[in-house]
Structure 1
Amino acid sequence: MLEESPFKGKTGLQRVWNALHYSLAGLHAAFTCEDAFRQEALLAVLLIPAAFFLPVTWVGRALMIASVLLVLIVELLNSAIEATVDRVSLDRHHLSKRAKDIGSAAVLLALINVVSVWGCVLLG
């Protein structure tokens, strides 16, 4: 039998409340410590309101906003991977590089997705 984390154990509304605080702490950490997240958050601050002013269908608008939010989600995961790799070791290792490069590639694909979705919706 595998041991559970000693940090687990809260259930119900207390778990939801704790999860909310952990999530807000994660967003704060990403915004204060990760340049790429700040840049992509700025992109989101510009593009999401713009989506509401463009003459597109509600489905198109939803796709446009979802594609931007996906970039933030992928960047958060990439930053978590990078922090974990650095926590394990700051030594150069080909597997550490691979993990970081793959995370970066995921962000690149999410950004390409934004351009593709916005282009398809706007150009019809």
Structure 2
Amino acid sequence: MRSDGSAWSARRWLRSAGFAWAGVRHAYGTQANFRIECWAALGALGLCVWLRAPLAPVALACALVLSLELLNTALEAVVDLASPQRHPLAKIAKDAAAGAVLLGSAGAVLVGLSVLLPPLLARLGTG
């Protein structure tokens, strides 16, 4: 579809958002790790609310992990399309994308621990 030339078009935005949501639904329906990360994010955000801890750093860390997982899913699909047979470069691309998710997840765990652990320990009476 060609652009209508306007910088802002609600119709174009809604159409694009629909495509994006289809990608999220596909990942949730086909990628076990994405489902796990979605539920972990929901749990972490719920803890923020319960503990009255700062929401922004945890929400940003969750969004980063979920975004990286979506990019990993997209890259895997493109690599599979371009190289249906096993190829060393295809493996490198897939492994590097998975590594990005791993590093993002490790960072998110550190953010979660630094933001949530002190108020959790205080609430439990051990901090």
**TM-score past 0.5 threshold:** yes
Equivalent residue, structure 1, for 2:73: 79
Identical counterparts, % of pairs? 34
Q: Is the 8 A contact 1:74 1:107 kept in 2?
A: yes
> What's the offset of the Cα at 1:62?
0.8
Q: Is the 8 A contact 2:47 2:116 kept in 1?
A: no
Which of 15, 30, 33 lines up with 1:33 in the alignment?
A: 30
Instruction: Name the count of aligned residue pairs.
Output: 114
Q: Is the 8 A contact 2:68 2:100 kept in 1?
A: yes
SS of residue matched to 1:19: helix
Residue deviations 1:33-86, cap 9 Å, x none?
A: 111111111111211111111243xxx321012111211010000000001101
SS of residue matched to 1:80: helix
Which of 103, 110, 118 lines up with 1:109 in the alignment?
A: 103
Normalising by structure 1, what TM-score? 0.83
Measure, in 2, the Cα distance between the counterparts of 1:120 and 1:35. Answer: 27
Query: Which runs of 5 or more structure 1 residues have no equivalent in the other structure?
Result: 1-7
Query: Which runs of 5 or more structure 2 residues have no equivalent in the other structure?
Result: 119-127
Q: How does 1:1-124 map to 2 (within 5 A)?
A: 8-11=1-4, 12-56=9-53, 60-122=54-116
Normalising by structure 2, what TM-score? 0.82
After superposing on structure 2, the runs of 4+ consecutive aligned residues of structure 1 that deviate more than 6 Å are none
